[in-house]
Structure formats: structure tokens, C-alpha cells
């Protein structure tokens, strides 16, 4: 089916739940005309990458309206948004958090330690002043995706450090006009069909899969490919629940603690057949389908990879997330969304034959308050986060294409699910970079042809070992027998 998604269709694709436990009205519930904030006039600065469009100065009209709504509710607080380049935000925020020079609100994806950011527990356990009848802010969130109950969010000390502004769902965005021109049938359901389609797209003069030099296309593709090969191969390493106690975490997925232990004990190795197959398939995928000379293509958008090439009609398919739907809706071509294809045994006899999975969860837009944010700025930053969790702030999540993390408004279905397993959580995927390193530093050599699979395997194992040792330290697992 070829279609240009309308706003109504896009809402259906993301499968937002209709029911809500919040009383939805048109403004802050307990705020007076002068607002909740009683301090001096203050300006807070929010710093993060653009996940909605390709603008280097603005997150888009939906975000701008949100800021205006908040400033109308809190006239003594001004919010300044600093859009950071996608390629450098991680390093910049990591350096600034360590130096105490970060913004008043900073994007969560950075290297940091707990003392560098504000503990949000005291605020989450008190009422959100913008939600009528709310007794604890944390109770407004869907506990399936964020909260103490399932241990989604707390650090090793059991403290919350960040607040989700939305959830992330991901899918394959495809230009159906280009598919028709190239003679490609959509959706593409398996890798045999994918590689055949890529040949047709190249013959038609377009890039089959839009690829750029950001970390996103490599990271997402590696994660999904490796999860298919690994899905049923490592159940024996499933030793810890989400709270870190002994037990199974299946069918939800193998925990980071279980994976860390498996790496340290040598039960999960980069030389394992499943990982070797994943490396080779990632290489084949890039060689046969990705944009040529992708390493020179920059992208300042965190919601749609190879943004410029895809929307200019130079690429037929690309990765897209829920908050990229607004851009897709305004495209000049007909489009569709589908699940990532399954690696079938015809494409690789070593394939598990299991469908690709992604699910919906945290990992989208999440912000922290640096420890350097104090006094009135701290009060203002907390209120801004609380406003985003309120009925008024929730409007932004929907209009920007996001999936709300608030109870009754979240979704368990991923983009392009279509009855496959795409909306289900991944059992296990192969980790990549160690803290402070980038995924490109591992895979660039392999994908650009300057390193062999064996050399990449060695680099990958080194990163696994370093990451596992750091995870033990960060999570205070040193006293457990397996971690010594």
C-alpha cells in the first residue's frame, strides 16, 4: 500500500493509547496566574541535539510552542535552547559535565558520574504542581517504561538522574514513489528481498538505504542485526532480574548485569559464531545497500538518518524514529513505514530465522540537570521538566511525533510493527563501544574496507572488556564473586 501519511494516519501508526489516567485540561492545575515559581527572574539554558528536523538553531515549531506555553505559565522563567551538532554533542556535554560548565538542562547521552548531575528523587517523590490531584510526580509515568518498580531509570545507587520527555519507537522510512520507479515491492520482509531491492535501486540511480557519518545508522543497524543472530543463543546467561537480584528477566530481555557477567566470564565473546555472523552481515548490508561515500555525509538530525538525501529523493529508505514523523508527513513524496527485514536462512544459513525486534522504550529525548545548576536556576529547571509531564506539556509529545512516557498515553507498539515481532523487546543485542569511545571507532575500518573482520573482532572485544569493567565499577558490583 502506497500512501502519504496524514496526521491521523501517523497517530495510528504510533498506536497511542486512547485511555489516560490523567485529567486532561488546558493548563497548569495548581499554578496561579503568576506561576508556581516564586524566585527572581531567571534564564535557564537547555543544551542538546536536534531530534526533529535539520535546523541548526531550532528544535522546530512544536518545541517553540512548548517553550511559549511554559513561559506563559511561568513568566519569570526564560528558557534558552542551544542546538548542538549531532556529531559532537556527546563529547561536548561529557567534557562540560566534568568541568561543571554544562547547561542548566543537558541531554542524557554523555559520559558522567552520579555526582555530576542532580538527584531527581526528592522531586519525583513530591507532587507535580502542573497535574491536578497528583501526589507523586513519579506516579504520572508509565512504570513499564520508567520508574522504580521495574528499575528503569535508577542508577547504581538507586537514584533517578534523568527525566524522559518521550519514548522512542523506530522503523524503516521508505519513499514509495522511488520504490515504484525501481520496481521494488514494499514492505521488504527479509534480507534476500532486501539485497535484491538494493540492486534495483542502484540501477535506478538512487541510494537504496540513506546512510551518513553519524553514529546512528551504524549503532541501530548493528543492534538489530546482532539481536537477530543472538536471540535464542544466550539464554544461559540470563541470571539477573532488572533490580539486580538473582533470577530471570526473560521474556523482556537479558539485563546489562547479566551481559556484563557473561563478558567477564567469557560466556559472551566477540569470536562467538553469532557475533562473527553479525559483523559479516553488517559489512554486507553497508556494501550492498548504504549510500556510497557515506563517511563524508553529515547529518544534524537525530530522528531521520541521512535526512537531506532521503527527503531530497536521493535515498529510497532510511532509519526513522517516532519523532521524525512530522518531517515525513511534510515530504513531497508518498511514503510508508515498515519493520526492519528479517535475516532469512537464504541470505545466511547461520541466521536464526527470528524476526527483527525493537519495541518502544526510553532512549529518545531524556534530560538531566547538572550538579552545577543551583538556586533559582535549579528550581526553574525542575519546573520545566514537570511542565513537560503535565497535560499542557503532553501536547508537545504528540504534535512533535513523540510517544508520551506518561501513564495511559504510552504505546507498546513500535513503528511499522504490522503484526510482526518488531514491537516486542529485544532479548539481547551485542554491545559496542566502551564508555568515552564511539561506535564509529569500532566499525569504521571494517565498513570502509581498511580493517578485516578479525581486526574488528579484536577491537570489539577490547571495548567489551573495558565496558564490562567500567559497568562493575559504576554499578557497585565489585563485591560480587563473579566480578572480582
**pTM tops 0.85, yes or no:** no
DSSP 64-83: HHHHHHHHHH-TTEEEEEEE
Q: Residue 308 maps to which CATH number?
A: 3.40.190.10
Residue 470, in any domain of the structure: yes
Q: Are 436 and 463 members of one domain?
A: yes
d(CA 51, CA 54): 8
What is the per-residue pLDDT for 128? Answer: 96
Residue 410, in any domain of the structure: no
Q: Are 383 and 465 members of one domain?
A: no
Q: Tens of pLDDT along 245-267?
A: 899 988 888 999 999 999 999 99
Q: Give the residue-averaged pLDDT of 43-51.
A: 93
Pairing mode, strands 162-164 and 170-175: unpaired
What is the per-residue pLDDT for 20? Answer: 28
Q: Which domain holds residue 320?
A: 170-360+418-483
Q: Tens of pLDDT along 371-401?
A: 999 999 999 999 999 999 888 777 776 666 6
With vertex at residue 437, the alpha carbon angle to CA 432 and CA 439, rounded to the nearest 5 degrees, is 40
Cell 520504490 identifies what position?
A: 179
Q: Tens of pLDDT along 125-140?
A: 999 999 999 999 999 9
Question: Which candidate, 346, 429, 422, 413, places its Cα nearest to that of 172?
Answer: 422
Helix (H) or strand (E) holding 176: helix 176-182
pLDDT score of 409 more than 70: no
What is the per-residue pLDDT for 257? Answer: 93
Average pLDDT along the chain: 87
Q: Are 249 and 325 members of one domain?
A: yes
Q: Are 229 and 336 members of one domain?
A: yes
Q: Are 156 and 174 members of one domain?
A: no
Contact 5, 42 (CB under 8 A): no
Q: Tens of pLDDT along 212-242?
A: 998 889 999 999 999 999 988 898 999 998 8
Q: Are 78 and 186 members of one domain?
A: no
Q: Are 385 and 451 members of one domain?
A: no
Residue 6, in any domain of the structure: no
Strand order in the sheet with 315-321: 207-209, 315-321, 170-175, 335-338
Q: Are 156 and 184 members of one domain?
A: no
Our count of domains for the chain comes to 2
Q: Are 75 and 220 members of one domain?
A: no
Q: Are 272 and 335 members of one domain?
A: yes
What is the per-residue pLDDT for 307? Answer: 92
Residue 12, in any domain of the structure: no
pLDDT score of 18 more than 80: no
Q: Are 191 and 290 members of one domain?
A: yes
Question: Which candidate, 168, 167, 171, 166, places its Cα nearest to that of 5?
Answer: 171
Q: Are 40 and 177 members of one domain?
A: no
Distant-in-sequence, close-in-space partners of 196: CB < 8 Å, separation ≥ 6: none
d(CA 230, CA 356): 11
Amino acid at each position: 500500500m502506497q500512501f502519504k501519511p496524514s496526521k491521523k494516519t501517523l497517530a495510528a501508526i504510533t498506536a497511542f493509547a486512547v485511555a489516560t489516567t490523567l485529567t486532561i485540561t488546558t493548563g497548569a492545575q495548581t499554578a496561579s496566574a503568576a506561576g508556581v515559581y516564586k524566585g527572581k527572574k531567571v534564564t535557564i539554558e537547555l543544551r542538546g541535539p536536534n531530534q526533529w528536523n535539520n535546523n541548526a538553531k531550532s528544535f522546530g515549531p512544536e518545541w517553540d510552542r512548548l517553550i511559549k506555553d511554559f513561559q506563559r505559565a511561568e513568566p519569570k522563567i526564560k528558557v534558552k535552547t542551544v542546538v548542538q551538532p549531532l556529531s559532537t554533542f556527546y563529547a561536548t556535554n561529557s567534557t562540560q559535565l566534568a568541568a561543571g560548565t554544562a547547561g542548566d538542562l543537558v541531554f542524557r547521552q554523555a559520559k558522567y558520574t552520579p555526582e555530576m548531575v542532580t538527584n531527581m528523587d526528592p522531586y519525583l517523590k513530591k507532587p507535580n504542581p502542573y497535574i491536578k490531584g497528583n501526589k507523586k510526580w513519579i506516579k504520572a509515568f508509565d512504570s513499564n517504561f520508567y520508574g522504580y518498580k521495574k528499575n528503569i531509570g535508577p542508577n547504581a545507587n538507586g537514584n533517578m538522574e534523568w527525566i524522559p520527555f518521550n519514548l522512542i519507537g523506530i522503523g524503516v522510512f521508505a519513499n514509495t514513489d522511488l520504490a515504484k520507479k525501481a520496481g521494488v515491492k514494499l514492505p521488504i520482509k527479509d534480507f534476500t528481498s532486501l539485497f535484491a531491492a538494493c540492486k534495483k535501486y542502484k540501477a535506478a540511480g538512487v541510494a537504496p538505504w540513506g546512510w551518513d557519518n553519524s553514529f546512528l545508522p551504524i549503532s541501530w543497524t548493528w543492534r538489530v542485526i546482532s539481536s537477530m543472530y543472538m536471540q535464542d543463543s544466550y539464554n544461559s546467561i540470563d541470571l539477573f532480574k532488572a533490580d539486580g537480584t538473582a533470577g530471570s528477566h526473560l521474556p523482556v530481555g537479558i539485563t546489562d548485569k547479566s551481559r556484563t557477567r557473561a563478558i567477564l566470564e567469557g560466556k559472551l565473546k566477540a569470536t562467538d559464531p553469532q557475533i562473527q555472523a553479525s559483523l559479516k552481515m553488517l559489512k554486507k548490508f553497508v556494501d550492498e545497500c548504504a549510500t556510497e561515500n557515506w563517511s563524508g555525509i553529515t547529518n544534524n538530525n537525530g530522528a531521520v538518518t541521512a535526512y537531506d538525501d532521503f527527503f531530497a529523493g536521493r535515498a529510497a529508505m532510511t532509519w526513522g524514529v517516532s519523532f521524525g514523523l512530522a518531517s515525513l508527513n511534510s515530504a513531497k513524496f508518498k511514503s510508508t513505514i515498515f519493520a526492519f527485514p528479517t535475516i532469512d536462512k537464504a541470505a545466511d544459513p547461520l541466521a536464526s530465522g527470528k524476526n527483527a525486534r525493537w519495541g518502544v522504550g526510553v532512549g529518545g529525548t531524556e534530560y538531566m540537570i547538572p550538579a552545577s545548576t543551583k538556586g533559582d536556576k535549579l528550581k526553574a529547571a525542575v519546573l520545566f521538566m514537570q511542565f513537560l509531564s503535565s497535560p499542557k506539556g503532553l501536547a508537545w509529545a504528540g504534535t512533535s511525533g513523540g510517544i508520551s512516557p506518561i501513564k495511559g498515553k504510552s504505546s507498546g507498539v513500535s513503528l511499522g510493527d504490522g503484526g510482526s515481532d518488531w514491537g516486542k523487546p529485544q532479548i539481547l543485542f551485542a554491545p559496542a563501544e566502551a564508555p568515552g569511545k564511539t561506535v564509529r571507532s569500532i566499525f569504521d575500518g571494517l565498513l570502509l574496507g581498511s580493517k578485516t573482520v578479525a581486526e574488528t573482532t579484536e577491537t570489539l572485544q577490547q571495548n567489551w572488556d573495558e565496558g564490562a569493567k567500567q559497568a562493575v565499577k559504576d554499578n557497585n558490583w565489585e563485591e560480587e564473586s563473579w566480578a572480582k
